[in-house]
Amino acid sequence: ILSPDNRTYNRLLRALRCLGERGFALLKGRWRTLQHITASPSTIGDIARAALVLTHFEHNYLPEIS
């Protein structure tokens, strides 16, 4: 049996991993370009960031600028 500290750490890590995996699955499923990309890692990052911004825009997740 794990100590309470280890269980808490594992729970937090699981929660963060879940968010990352869900976000990537959303981007990959929504943007077919990301499924077949063969660009350099830096370019893939730029494309993924752009797709994330477009997805946030589509779902009205972007913060309002005042």
The domain tally of the chain equals: 1
Alpha carbon distance, N-terminus to C-terminus of the chain: 51
Domain assignment of residue 8, yes or no = yes
Question: Is 65 inside a domain boundary?
Answer: no
CB 34 within 8 A of CB 27: yes
Q: Indicate whether 66 belongs to any domain.
A: no
Long-range CB contact pairs, 50-57, < 8 A, 24+: 51/27, 52/23, 52/27, 55/26, 55/27, 55/30, 55/31
Q: What is the pLDDT of residue 41?
A: 72
| Residue 64 resides in a domain | no
Task: Note if the pTM is more than 0.75.
Answer: no
Angle at which helix 4-30 crosses helix 41-58, to 10 degrees, equals 90
Residue 12 lies in a domain: yes
Per-residue confidence (pLDDT) for residue 4, from 0 to 100: 93
Q: Which domain holds residue 47?
A: 4-58
pLDDT tens string 19-45: 777 777 777 777 676 677 777 777 777
